[in-house]
Amino acid sequence: MTTVRFENGRDTIRNWDDVFEALSAEPRRRLVVSLMDAPRDETIPLPERAINPDAPADPDVLRTELFHRHLPLLSDLGFVEWEPDPFVASRGPRFEEVAAVFEALHSHAAELPESLVLGCRRLEREREREMSVSD
């Protein structure tokens, strides 16, 4: 029994490490948020949907970083699937693990320090606007 508990504990630790590694870079966070906003089985265009509107990156540099660094990492962890031509991404088999962290953060944004939530609050306003337009 103890062996099973330790193995489960190690798996849980590894899963959290995977989530935090995936979310440790802004383009990956932006990509996860964009996929959360997209319908479950649709792809999103890259690099456009990985650009943070509050701190836009050079699209050519971002394309290279996504292709060689960010997307392979997210794909290897099972969070995202992607294609180079057309350059798109979609949810991977473990996507819900990273999405759950963002959902938890967004639902408690009012309790977080202002320095961490400016983007969250802007995103919430955008979502509210989109919902009011679609009604």
pLDDT, tens digit, 9 for 90 and up, residues 40-62: 999 999 999 999 887 878 999 99
Whether residue 4 is predicted with pLDDT greater than 80 in this model: the reply is: no
Residue 81: partners with Cβ closer than 8 Å, 6 or more residues away: 75, 89, 90, 91, 92
- Closest by alpha carbon to 79, among 62, 66, 96? 96
Six-digit token pair at 43? 């792809």
Alpha-carbon distance 27 to 58, whole Å? 12
Whether residue 124 is predicted with pLDDT greater than 70 in this model: the reply is: no
Whether residue 5 is predicted with pLDDT greater than 70 in this model: the reply is: no
**What integer pLDDT is reported at residue 57 of this predicted model?**
84
pTM comes to: 0.78
Helices (H) and strands (E) in the chain, counts: 6, 3
Whether residue 119 is predicted with pLDDT greater than 60 in this model: the reply is: no
Helix (H, G, I), strand (E, B) or coil at 93: coil
Six-digit token pair at 87? 């350059």
Q: Could you tell me the residue ranges of all domains in the chain?
A: 2-134
Q: Which segments of 23-94 does DSSP mark as H helices, in order?
A: 26-37, 59-65, 71-76
Residue 82 phi/psi, 5° resolution? Answer: -150, 160
DSSP string over 105-130: HHHTGGGS-HHHHHHHHHHHHHHHHH
Task: Answer yes or no: CATH 3.40.50.970 is held by domain 2-134.
Answer: no
Which residues pair with residue 84 across a beta bridge?
A: 87
Least confident of 27-36, 91-100, 102-111: 102-111
pLDDT digits (tens, 9 = 90+) for 63-105: 999 999 999 999 999 999 999 999 999 999 999 999 999 888 8
Six-digit token pair at 130? 């989109």
Residues shown for the chain: 135
